[in-house]
Amino acid sequence: MSRLVARAENWERIYEAFNNINFAAFDYNTIKQSLLDYIKLYFPENFNDFIESSEFIAIIESFAYIAELIAYRLDVDAHENFISAAQRKESILRLAKLVSYSADRPLPARGLVKITSVSTTENVIDAIGNNLSNRSVRWNDASNPQWKDQFVLIINRVLEQTFGSVKSSDRFQLDNVLFELYTLNINPLASSSVSYTALVNGQNIPMEIVPIEYDTKDGIIERRPYNNSNFSILFGQDGLGDTSDTTGFFCYTKQGSLQRFRKTFDGITPNQTYEIPQSNVNETDVWVNNVDPVTGATLDLPSLLPYRRDTTAGISGEWVQVDLAYAQNVIFNTNPKRNKYEIETRDGNRVRIIFGDGEFADVPSGTFDFWVRSSLDQDIIVPQSSVVNVPAKFSYVDTFGRTQTFSFTFSLINSLQNNSAAETLEHIRVTAPAVYYSQDRMVNGQDYNSFMLQDSSIIKLRSINRTFAGDSKYINWHDPSTTYENVKMFTDDGAIYFQEKVETVTTPAVASLNELITTYIEPLLSSTDIFMYVSSYGVSITDFRRTFNQDEKTQLVSGLTPPPTPSNIQLYYNLATNSWFVVQASDNVATALASYGWPTNFIGNPLISIIQQQNDNIYQVNRLAKRLICQSSTTSFWNTNNASRVIEYNTLNSDFDQIVVLQANPNHDRSGILQRNWNFNVLGIETIETGPYIGLPDVTRVSIIPMDENGDGVPDHLDINESNNHYGLADIIKPKMLVNLTNVADIPTQGVLVTLPIYYVIGQQDVHVENTNGAPAILGTHWYEDTASPTGVSNVIWLTHSSFANSLVKVTVNDYVYFARLDPADAWQLAPNTPDSMSSYLIELATRLGLWKRELGRSDLNIGWFHRSPRYYLIDPAASNIVDTVLIQKGYFLALKRWLEDPLATQPQSPTSLDLRLAYNYLIENKMISDTIVLHPGKIKLLFGSKAIAPLQAVFKVVRSSDTSMTDNQIKTTIVTTVRNFFDITVWEFGETFYFTELATAIHAALPIEISTVVLIPVSDQNHFGDLFQVQAREDELFYPDITVDDVELVSDINAIVLRMAQQVPCPTQQPNVFTQLMGEYAFNHTQDVSTSSWTIVHELGYYPIVRVYNEFNQEIQPSSVIHMSVLQTVITFATPTRGIARLV
């Protein structure tokens, strides 16, 4: 034996053999060749017959064939042991279970429905003697002042305890809503749920309202079903009043059908199983009850083993599921409760219930009820409109022992978007390792960004740490990001001004013109944009209707009926009759409205216009928007509540963010300070419309509106021309002076020189003069601007006495806010309100470079910004870390895609923070005790199409190749598909930047020889070519394209017209610097010594200058005409031969 061992191959021989083996050979050809090479090398004398027809070669080929099969099988088996490479479902589920990950079955749509009306057959008498029997009482019924007392009286008839008397254990808070749990005293229900249906995508799907229970870990959940059980509801209050969606009585609803299966066990056999004969059992709704076989009541028996007892409170007949975390199962687990089971998911989303062996879990004995809910295995969204005033009823016994009926209706408070189909293999493959890494808890950043993804209804997630451990607890709690803390900031460079723009909305396909009017046109009458516009024309808001009357609706329907071509109409507002008139865009307005007092009685511009698309059911609705804007160059309004009312935590009053114009400002005529602080509510943050940050919120600008201080529901003191009390805006904007001209003898011939409190631009109607009786004075007859000013900017005027004898004259000067930029593609920046800026603005009027503009308003104001956080009460100040978790639900995203691609689909609603808390509270409980998580809905930032915001709308201009055989439609369709694939949500993250060059590369890769080039051209006139080559997203935004074939245009070539390049005018060195030019300086002076009726001036300015002409006595005169022959030559003509000086600015 020892000799045999000694004669074994030594390690050098083994090493040499392995060194010559080709381990890379695994397929038939390489194995065969490797064998031949090996034999040729080591057995050259023994085997030398390598003819393909020889028996030796046949043996080698057979071996190679078998070796290839073995290699393939080994390779497949090896791959099936790695979750990233496994292909078989059984392998992926096995590997996921190995890391304690349980794949989700379908998740049901679930949420709260609000009880909208109640009634009873019982005789119920209210406080004023009305019998409420069989009378429906609606929640928040404006036509019934007694609605609330009557509502509570009726609902008290079915409550086990009187409304408002719940125990402290039945009162809890979720998000910003305080809930109370009430049990109904009704006749027992067979299955504890009430069924109804909802219409979703043309399909009636089963829904149920279910009794509610509050769990400290999972939040609001469905109470365990019992035989012959009662029902429970919630009362919620968010402090925002009875009109709020989250104030009132609520039921809990789920999608699916609850079913019961019964089975008897012997109590002896260990490890028993029961496979429930029902497919598509959802993930959340499986219950096991040990019941009495006769009565069906859930048993509460003593422990089967007296020396072992449950350490968890509850009824012994209520069996619980084992938590599969940390590799636990029904055989070995840490749950002290012995009545437990394990769920195993089978094909078809069936479930198998696995019981214990009597060691860590009791063996089941007796009769068991298995309650399961079957839900759709589809990604659907239950729209809010599908569950509206759905009826339901319970029977109950009154105090006299008579059976009565309690009827009620309920409606969804928001769309249900938290359902999900069964978890896909790809989702398991990606999520299981990440969840295993987190060890079933959230500690670090990776945990917070991956753990919650185990819920398959979450398609995208990002967590942001707002504050960090280390904040001192010996000082007041402080959130440095100002997201969860009230903010008070002051600045001395505030500007308040009016801004006019056109807002455009493209409707989806509407079923009827009445739907178009009711849904898209009539609501515009209630918008602040229209309100600000009509109020600037002196319309009293009490006279302005927020609805159309029948005659106006008839005009709209008639005007929108295509005759047969698509119809475009405009809506004009009559100031005299406070009514709307519809005019076809192709008609002459003066002729159409002549009999109604045009133009005197009308606002000159159409406030609303409707353009019908080629598809008759789609319309473009434009409205003139007038907004009051507050802007600051040094203060960033990062956080605004976006017009959502919030509860001020000290006074519990509902409030907005506020901009306060401080009293420490010069008043309108600069004669003193303001009367007091003037408060404005913040409506929302504006959007950057040009420049590299296009589409992002402009944190330096917010739209505001005066507060309603007298409680009449209307913003106060909007009239800037009010000259009696000078309240509100009239105290801030527009100097209004009274000049006494009662003594005509003291007025010199040339008039009275009046010094104004501010400078104005000559010739731009910046000054208005009128008698105190309101009669306007004529410029050039009754008063004069300072025509001697060499720069066109002055602060004096002349008043004559031709029509002002023995009277007071009112002089009003417009205040303006000036803006400048260095390039037409840049965003506008506040410029100082100085004569220099006014001079530069005059140059802009002549050159049209797009570098200067102004808006009616006032700058250099001392203002304060008061931000009241709507999330103050979501935060536990004792926690060290505040984590904002932004997520997008699969249901919402799929509904958004459907809305973008289907003109008949409706726009989905973004889920609220409360919706997210209800859906994912069970995951939040895995956070650290020192952390606070706040859930937020993520935002989809649309690009390109008509449903994107105006600055981000664009058209793809494509030059097709001469070598392509594809049709135009094929090219367009391919581009649309490529763009949508490029923005696949799985490969984009929140806050990423979009670069058009990357998209263009993808398009060229899809159409390598079919197109020559592709460019992106903005639609808005405010934007230029190149503005959308880089678009940034905020930290809670994801890009997605709104694109159809209509957004792709094929052109013959790329030129300046196609690119809509901004016109650039050369600016030579002689042009005055628009920021530093001093008054009195001129770009060019021309002296005409010889009298002539035509002056030809040759200069080198390179732009069209402003021309002022002075005669030989240095008096400014008006020529007959000034004609710019080019940017280098100007011709001035006169009625008679003239000599003097021409000054060019």
- Cα 534 from Cα 1102, distance rounded (Å): 43
Which residues, 6+ apart, have CB-to-CB distance to 411 below 8 Å? 113, 114, 116, 384, 387, 388, 389, 390
Q: What is the pLDDT of residue 1065?
A: 38
Q: What is the pLDDT of residue 873?
A: 46
Which residues, 6+ apart, have CB-to-CB distance to 636 below 8 Å? 699, 700
Tell me which of 319-323, 1030-1034, 1075-1079 is least confident: 1075-1079
The answer to whether 883 and 525 have CB atoms below 8 angstroms apart is no
pLDDT at 49 over 90: no
* Residue 82 DSSP label: S
- Cα 680 from Cα 85, distance rounded (Å): 61
Q: Residue 926 corresponds to which tokens in the numbers above?
A: 């895995």
pLDDT at 782 over 80: no
Report the share of the chain in percent with pLDDT over 70: 84
Q: Which helix (H) or strand (E) holds 979?
A: helix 968-982
- At 709-768, the pLDDT tens digits run 777 667 778 778 777 778 888 888 888 887 776 655 555 666 778 888 888 888 888 888
Q: What is the pLDDT of residue 196?
A: 92
Q: Residue 336 corresponds to which tokens in the numbers above?
A: 């002290």
User: Distances from the Cα of 487 to the Cαs of 432, 630, 869, in angstroms?
Assistant: 42, 17, 8
Sign of CA dihedral 28, 30, 36, 42: negative
- Cα 286 from Cα 342, distance rounded (Å): 11
Whether the bond into 824 is cis, omega within 30 of 0: no
Sign of CA dihedral 54, 58, 63, 67: positive
Q: What is the pLDDT of residue 978?
A: 92
User: Distances from the Cα of 175 to the Cαs of 223, 462, 874, 931, 936, in angstroms?
Assistant: 21, 19, 6, 15, 11
Tell me which of 118-122, 394-398, 1050-1054 is least confident: 1050-1054
- Cα 161 from Cα 768, distance rounded (Å): 70
Q: Residue 1050 corresponds to which tokens in the numbers above?
A: 């094929």
Which residues, 6+ apart, have CB-to-CB distance to 677 below 8 Å? 660, 661, 662, 663
More confident residue, 107 or 56: 107
The answer to whether 70 and 26 have CB atoms below 8 angstroms apart is no
What's the whole-number mean pLDDT along residues 284-304? 82
- Cα 456 from Cα 428, distance rounded (Å): 9
Q: Which helix (H) or strand (E) holds 913?
A: helix 913-924
SS3 at position 18: helix
pLDDT at 452 over 90: no
pLDDT at 265 over 80: yes
pLDDT at 442 over 80: yes
| Helical segments of 46-88, H only | 55-79
* Residue 228 DSSP label: T
Q: What is the pLDDT of residue 288?
A: 92
Count of CB atoms situated within 10 Å of the CB of 930: 11
pLDDT at 4 over 50: no
SS3 at position 764: coil
pLDDT band at 1125 (very low <50, low <70, confident <90, very high): low
- Cα 152 from Cα 249, distance rounded (Å): 10
DSSP string for 772-797:
TTSPBPPBTTTEEE-TT-SSSEEEEE
Q: What is the pLDDT of residue 22?
A: 62
What's the whole-number mean pLDDT along residues 703-711? 81
DSSP string for 655-667:
E--EEEE-SSSB-
The residue among 434, 384, 382, 481 whose CA lies nearest residue 108 is 382
pLDDT at 937 over 80: yes
- Cα 357 from Cα 331, distance rounded (Å): 7
DSSP string for 683-702:
EEEEE--SSTTTTSEEEEEE
Q: What is the pLDDT of residue 2?
A: 40
More confident residue, 657 or 988: 988
User: Distances from the Cα of 205 to the Cαs of 255, 349, 393, 1040, in angstroms?
Assistant: 8, 18, 20, 30
Count of CB atoms situated within 10 Å of the CB of 918: 22
Q: What is the pTM assigned to this prediction? A: 0.69
The residue among 896, 873, 888, 821 whose CA lies nearest residue 852 is 821
pLDDT at 934 over 90: no
What's the whole-number mean pLDDT along residues 362-378? 90
pLDDT band at 561 (very low <50, low <70, confident <90, very high): confident
What's the whole-number mean pLDDT along residues 557-580? 79
The residue among 546, 607, 537 whose CA lies nearest residue 572 is 607
* Residue 602 DSSP label: B
Residue owning tokens 């004529």: 778
pLDDT at 828 over 80: yes
pLDDT at 863 over 80: yes
- Cα 1140 from Cα 1118, distance rounded (Å): 12
- At 477-516, the pLDDT tens digits run 555 555 666 778 888 888 999 888 887 777 766 667 777 8
DSSP string for 1063-1079:
P-----TTSPPTTTPPT
Q: What is the pLDDT of residue 407?
A: 92
Mean pLDDT taken over the chain: 80
- Cα 667 from Cα 685, distance rounded (Å): 27
The residue among 458, 556, 515 whose CA lies nearest residue 915 is 458
- Cα 920 from Cα 922, distance rounded (Å): 5
pLDDT at 471 over 60: no
Q: What is the pLDDT of residue 652?
A: 41
pLDDT band at 1064 (very low <50, low <70, confident <90, very high): very low
What's the whole-number mean pLDDT along residues 689-697? 76
pLDDT at 818 over 90: yes
| Helical segments of 851-912, H only | 890-901
Which residues, 6+ apart, have CB-to-CB distance to 151 below 8 Å? 118, 137, 139
What's the whole-number mean pLDDT along residues 434-450? 81
